[in-house]
Amino acid sequence: MIISTIAAFSGGFFILWLILWVHRWKNPKCRGKLPPGSMGLPLLGETLEFFSPYTSFDISPFVKERTKRYGPVFKTSLVGRRVVVSTDPELNRFVFQQEGRLFKSWYPETFTEIFGRDNVGELHGFMYKYLKSLVLRLFGPESLREMMLQDMEKLARDRLILWSGQPRIDLKDGISSMIFDLTAKKLIGYDPSPESEDLRSNFVAFILGLISFPINAPGTAYHKCLQGRRKAMRVLKRMLKERRESPVVKERSDFFDCVVEELGRERAVLTEGIALDLMFVLLFASFETTSLALTLAVKLLSQHPAVLHKLKEEHEKIIINRENPESGLTWKEYKSMSFTFQVILETVRLANIVPGIFRKALKDIQINGYTIPAGWGFMVCPPAVHLNPEIYDEPLAFNPWRWKDKAELSGGTKSFMAFGGGMRFCVGADFSKLQMAVFLHCLVTKYRWQDISGGNIIRTPGLGFPDGYHVQLLPK
């Protein structure tokens, strides 16, 4: 009798504790008024809904449904963290402006696991500014003009010639490979070889699980992602060790040399761990995001003949105005591509490759009548801004002309944040625009193409081409 009574009491106590725990989960404490929203299931939150795939350019159902129900600012829980989501352009701008004071750069722990504890997104203050200055040596305007432009054009022409001799080409895979070979050469001195392809295959495995449900179990996309990172980091670590032990070669000049020089300084600020995570992030960001945007640009041009005709006109005029039609692109010609820039801006607006930009509240913050508690995450939602009909007329339409005389807005504003915003505006934005412009120039002046298969998009919530995009490339 006594044992059964104790068991019943213990069971009742556990049920009571469980009820209280669930209640606290769904109703977190706050010194003020939290934004409306739901915390979802205990621990799991609303993670499943966030990662649920969809196949349109529109705002994700996750954000769209909650914005309709709760308004432009709402609370939720993602991968075990409490997060406030904003689709409000004014609030987004305020958050970007307050980095280092009210907010700091932050991503969920799963992202930190993927990109490394010392990745640039986790660094702040002096160290972040220091790394940014290093990266600009490679991706800054001077380097793009003096070192990148001609190499980009040569590689694009060579690959297009190669592809035109094949019955079909997966454009997404081909462009991805092309940009990876270029950036790997500039970053770490890689030449296309079986070894470099191995490194790229590790990045492909990494990318497939980058924005996936974070279950680290064999067979899952997330597990494969982590394996891809580990293998890629092993290659980078070995290469860095070899470079640090090898004599300086004057003819060679890549970003690895810059890193080795910084590591060798007396009282060096840079550590090997930070350097390796930086290399990893730069390799990933420089080729994957740009290849997605460029593939989508070609697909959209196929679907919009009037845009393609206008683009061809601009690039054919560049060639006509040359003394030697076969001479390479000049920086002046690149800067004259006004309609091309409009196409690029419209493509990245619709692509919304980055579905969320994260920050963390450093203290309790009062905004719009709500309190964001210290330690909570804050997610800026670029797609909800880029597809807002109050900002963009017919937002789901591909209309490059909407950007006429608005190129200055591409630098990051409250209504355009494809490359981020605030002090963390993407340092590779100019690289991406140049890569896209150069490839489109080489493509439309020498070739035409026919869609064969694929080209369908999927968002999980990041952009992907699940079936590739297969085309036949034909010389004019």
What residues form the annotated binding site?
Answer: 426
Tokens (6 digits) for 474: 């034909």
Phi and psi of 198, rounded to 5°? Answer: -60, -45
Closest CA to 76 of 427, 438, 400, 381: 381
292 near 351, Cβ under 8 Å?
A: yes
* CA separation, residue 174 to residues 181, 339, 351 (Å): 11, 25, 19
Are 456 and 55 in contact by the 8 Å Cβ rule? The answer is yes
Write out the two tokens for 414: 């409250």
Q: Which of 91, 88, 94, 82 is closest to 38 using CA atoms? A: 82
Residue 374's CB is within 10 A of a number of other CB atoms, namely 13
Are 21 and 39 in contact by the 8 Å Cβ rule? The answer is no
Phi and psi dihedrals of 369, rounded to 5? 85, 0
The rounded distance, in Å, linking the Cα atoms of 448 and 39 is 51
Per the rule left: phi > 0, alpha: psi between -120 and 50, beta: everything else, 100 is: left
Annotated binding-site residue numbers for heme? 426
CA separation for the pair 31, 24 (Å, rounded): 15
Shortest CA distance to 40 belongs to which of 85, 78, 69?
Answer: 78
Structure tokens at 13: 């106590």
